[in-house]
Amino acid sequence: MATPDKLNLQDLRVSYDLDVMLESNTPADPVELFQLWFNDALAHQLPEPNAMQLATATPDGTPNVRTVLLKGIDGRGFHFFTNYESNKGRELAANPRAAACFLWNERHHQVIVRGTVSKLPHEEALAYFASRPAGHQIGAWASAQSQIIPDRAWLDQRAAEIEVKFGSDVPCPPFWGGYTIQPTEIEFWQGRTSRLHDRLLYGREGGVWVKKRVSP
């Protein structure tokens, strides 16, 4: 699984002009263009380049949004990890569709990914969890994510108890794991000072990506 910090411009077979976004000079595969823009954000040392706003909805259509971190991209989609019992986890269980928005403001780039969501294999969650800092591992157990709690002291006490219980060998919680967004649409926005921005929408039609221009 390719991780965002390991995506490399040199991995791409063709170079594209980042300052001009036209149908004629963008790749046929939107994931390739995403990788190019992501690496551009890395090259310019933008803060948290893999941060994405993840939008989900309840079965009755009530929207919800929060920021999570992109942790990998491969043929299955865009990957992130979280607590299955959180609001987002419960919403995805009931309505397995989502949208994710990446904004690299300093580069005038935005990408919106829309698609269906499924869980990643538990083995991948185990491997990623093992790579996390100890504090993050303890926090995954201590936080009853999205639930109302009495106060900060309650959370700190929970974390202390978890640290005593597991020591330096914190296992992956059974309620924690990964998801992948399998994209059906990927939309690229590139800003222009005239406000006549460029928007290209890639949509899956008949199993292939079709590129369309959207008015700003």
Contact assessment for residue 95 and residue 155, using Cβ atoms and an 8 Å cutoff: no
Residue 153 lies in a domain: no
Q: What is the pLDDT along the chain (216 residues), one digit of tens a residue?
A: 445 544 443 343 334 556 778 898 999 999 999 999 999 999 999 999 999 999 999 989 999 999 999 999 999 999 999 999 999 999 999 999 999 999 999 999 999 999 999 999 999 999 999 999 999 999 999 999 999 999 999 999 999 999 999 999 999 999 999 999 999 999 999 998 888 899 999 999 999 999 999 999
Residue 149 lies in a domain: no
Give the DSSP H/E element, type plus range, for residue 98.
strand 97-104
Please list the active-site residues: 195
pTM over 0.85: yes
3-state secondary structure 129-170: HHHCCHHHHHHHHHCCCCCCCCCHHHHHHHHHHHHHHHCCCC
User: How far apart are alpha carbons 19 and 22 in whole angstroms?
Assistant: 10
Residue 63 lies in a domain: yes
Neighbours of 187 (CB within 10 A): 19
User: How far apart are alpha carbons 90 and 28 in whole angstroms?
Assistant: 35
Q: Residue 18: which domain range?
A: 4-132+174-213
Residue 159 lies in a domain: no
CATH code (residue 51): 2.30.110.10
* Residues 178, 157, 147, 139, Cα dihedral to 10°: -20
Domain count of the chain?
1
Residue 18 lies in a domain: yes
Residue 150 lies in a domain: no
Residue 201 lies in a domain: yes
Residue 162 lies in a domain: no
